Structure 1
Amino acid sequence: MDSKKYLEDLTHIKDMMRRSSRFLSLSGLSGILAGLYAMAGATIAYIFLFPPKGEYLTLHSWNFKLSVALLLVIALLSMLTAYLLTTKKARKNNEKIWDETTKRLLFHFLVPLITGGLYILIKLNSQHYGLTASLMLIFYGLALLNASKYTLGNVQYLGVAEIILGLVCAVFPGYGFWFWVVGFGVLHIVYGSLIYCREEAT
């Protein structure tokens, strides 16, 4: 009996340590919705903003500015959705939404992401457009991989998948748009669905 209680106490302590070092309230539904936002934005861009075949969006063109605005709207919607759903889940699990673990998570996620964003802008300003989608996927994957040690462990698999997809995209830069759709749309929906199914099962 004492042995059983001892093992239960150890399990409880291990769970407390895991929760104190990792942010575990990420919502699977937010991943699904982020993927849907990305695919909706890609559809709008494909129909209304794409230049003729063989041409690129130039940095100072009106369509490029609209494309950047569309990307920002998608990013803001995704972040707002993630915040609302994650906050809801954290309250349900009696967990803090803002603590040292959350700060570490955001720091390790945002440093590669912001670095990548600035590098992409520098390349665009130099009129190097062909690898934009590839760089976005790679730096986003690196951000996920870097932050994965402070949240759900399987986030690293999404990060690795994004990096691999970005490298393949670099080999086929003419299909960057479609790689972007797969990386930010399809992979998010698949990953979010897996997390959501696990949430429903527990």
Structure 2
Amino acid sequence: MDSKKYLDDISQIKDLMNRSSRFISLSGLSGILAGVYAITGASVAYFFLRPEPNEYITLHSWNFKVLVAILIAVAVLSFVTAYMLTTQKAKKNDEKIWDETTKRLLVNFFVPLVTGGIYILIKLTSQQYGLTASLMLIFYGLALVNASKYTIGNVKYLGYAQIILGLICAAFPGYGFWFWVVGFGILHIIYGSMMHLKERKA
């Protein structure tokens, strides 16, 4: 009896330590919606901005500016949705949304992401478009893996998948658009669905 109580106490202590060092309020639904936003944005770009044969999208063209606006809109919608749903989940579970763990999570996520964004912009100003989708997937994957140690769930596996997809994309640059759709759209929906089902069972 004493042995069982001792093991239960150890388990509770480990759980408390895990909660204090990891951000646990991430919402699976936000992942699903991020994937939906990405596929919607990609669909708009494909059907309305697709260049004609022998036509190139330059850095200063109207199509390029609209494409950048779509990417920014997808990113903003994804982050705002994640913030709203995560805040809602944290309040429901009586957890803090902003503490030192959250700060560490965001720093570790945004350092690779911002670095990658700046590098991609440098490449674009040099009229080098071929590896844009690949670089976006790789740096996003690195950001997820880097931040995964401050949260629970299988975020790191989503990061690994994005990195691998980005490397494959680099070998087939002509299909960058479709790799982007798979990485930011389909993989997000699959991962978010798995998290959402796990949350409902908990």
TM-score scaled by length of structure 1? 0.98
Q: State the match for 1:73 in structure 2.
A: 73
Secondary structure (helix, strand or coil) at the match of 2:127 reads coil
CA separation of 1:56 and 1:143: change in aligned 2, threshold 3 A? farther
How far does residue 175 in structure 1 lie from its aligned partner after superposition? 0.4
Measure, in 2, the Cα distance between the counterparts of 1:91 and 1:56.
49
Q: State the match for 1:174 in structure 2.
A: 174
Secondary structure (helix, strand or coil) at the match of 2:14 reads helix
Quick check: 1:104 aligned with 2:104? yes
RMSD: 1.0
Instruction: Tell me if structure 2 keeps the 8 A contact 1:42–1:181.
Output: yes
Q: State the match for 1:150 in structure 2.
A: 150
Aligned residues: 202
CA separation of 1:144 and 1:53: change in aligned 2, threshold 3 A? farther
- One-letter code of the match for 1:144? L
CA separation of 1:6 and 1:139: change in aligned 2, threshold 3 A? same
Measure, in 2, the Cα distance between the counterparts of 1:53 and 1:114.
34
Instruction: Tell me if structure 2 keeps the 8 A contact 1:56–1:129.
Output: no
How far does residue 153 in structure 1 lie from its aligned partner after superposition? 4.2
How far does residue 56 in structure 1 lie from its aligned partner after superposition? 3.7
Unaligned residue ranges in structure 1 (runs of 5+): none
Q: State the match for 2:190 in structure 1.
A: 190
Measure, in 1, the Cα distance between the counterparts of 2:10 and 2:35.
39
Instruction: Tell me if structure 1 keeps the 8 A contact 2:153–2:195.
Output: no
Q: State the match for 1:50 in structure 2.
A: 50
CA separation of 1:53 and 1:162: change in aligned 2, threshold 3 A? farther
CA separation of 1:170 and 1:109: change in aligned 2, threshold 3 A? same
Range 22-31 or range 51-60, more displaced: 51-60
Measure, in 1, the Cα distance between the counterparts of 2:134 and 2:57.
16
Measure, in 1, the Cα distance between the counterparts of 2:176 and 2:88.
35
Of all paired residues, the percent bearing the same amino acid is: 73
